[in-house]
Amino acid sequence: MSRPKILVFASGTKTGGGSGFRRLVEESTKLGGNLAADIIGVVSNHLNGGVKRIADEVGVPFYFFDNARNATGRQYQYFVSTLGAEWVALSGWLKLVKGLNPATTFNIHPGPLPKFGGPGMYGHHVHEAVMAAFGRGELTHSAVSMHFVDQEYDHGNLFFKLPVEIEPDDTPDSLGARVNKQEHVWQSFITDLVVHRHIRLTRAGNLIVPAWYRQMPFCPLTAIK
């Protein structure tokens, strides 16, 4: 049986980033890895940035998205159709995705959704906002979130929300490091559940998960029908 084909979109930076993409590749290729799928390529909006460097190191085809800031749905669809991708995983992709199927497109986000999402809410900005809310006594935990992708930033059906406790002496940097560590621990495992349709979105927009998943602390029960 052929393995699901995943195309990853990962912005990274001009000099670094892309660690989530690297972990997905590692788990999909190593013996006993928890992602039984093929990473068929990675797309970045930086021509020679950190994602390109990782792609070269791990032997995954790299594709430059030259007009990502003002891209149309047709441009996103071109990547998916031309490369034969069955799934699209956003892993640190900072641009608004357009024109893709929400049932086969999903994102990982370094904070609690829906409150700490939307335009401009990525990376360090999320951790700063979470720490500010913690200082006001509004929350005690950050989170790693995963969701299906619709036409709005960080808005689609939420299917994973792992609490990450905030410590009294945390800074945005220290909190971000712990959130990132949990992203690396969980992203490939949850991705495997999605691409093998254990977690899925119906045509009616209902979220379906296994019975055991509903009992897990990372299952956002309020989002599940």
pLDDT digits (tens, 9 = 90+) for 114-128: 999 999 999 999 999
The residues spanned by each domain of the chain are 5-119+144-164+187-223
Angstrom distance (rounded) from CA 121 to CA 44? 19
Kindly state the DSSP code that residue 218 receives in the 8-state scheme: T
1 pLDDT above the threshold of 80: no
Angstrom distance (rounded) from CA 69 to CA 130? 26
Angstrom distance (rounded) from CA 107 to CA 20? 11
Whether the Cβ atoms of residue 151 and residue 138 lie closer than 8 Å to each other: no
pLDDT digits (tens, 9 = 90+) for 200-216: 999 999 999 999 999 99
- The pLDDT score that the predictor gives to residue 69 is 86
Angstrom distance (rounded) from CA 112 to CA 99? 25
- The pLDDT score that the predictor gives to residue 221 is 61
Locus of tokens 């940035």: 49
**Kind of pairing between the strands at 87-91 and 5-9:** parallel
102 pLDDT above the threshold of 80: yes
Q: What are phi and psi of 180, to 5 degrees?
A: -60, -40
- The pLDDT score that the predictor gives to residue 90 is 98
pLDDT digits (tens, 9 = 90+) for 158-186: 999 999 999 999 999 999 999 999 999 99
State in words which class domain 5-119+144-164+187-223 has.
Answer: alpha beta
Catalytic residue among 109, 124, 127, 141: 109
**Count of CB atoms situated within 10 Å of the CB of 225:** 10
The mean pLDDT value of the chain amounts to: 95
Q: Show the tokens assigned to 188.
A: 């490939």
Whether the Cβ atoms of residue 42 and residue 62 lie closer than 8 Å to each other: yes
Please give the single-letter amino acid code of residue 133.
A
Whether the Cβ atoms of residue 141 and residue 166 lie closer than 8 Å to each other: yes
Inter-CA distances, 211 with 197, 198, 215, Å: 14, 10, 7
- The pLDDT score that the predictor gives to residue 224 is 43
223 pLDDT above the threshold of 90: no
- Burial of 103-136, coded b for 16+ CB within 10 Å and e otherwise, reads bbbbbbbbbbbeebbeeebbbeebbbbbbebbee
pLDDT digits (tens, 9 = 90+) for 3-35: 999 999 999 999 999 999 999 999 999 999 999
pLDDT digits (tens, 9 = 90+) for 29-54: 999 999 999 999 999 999 999 999 99
**Strands across the sheet with 87-91, in order?**
62-64, 38-44, 5-9, 87-91, 105-109, 141-148, 158-165
Active site residue 109: yes
User: Is 0.85 surpassed by the pTM of this model?
Assistant: yes
Angstrom distance (rounded) from CA 185 to CA 182? 5
Residue 11, helix vs strand vs coil? coil
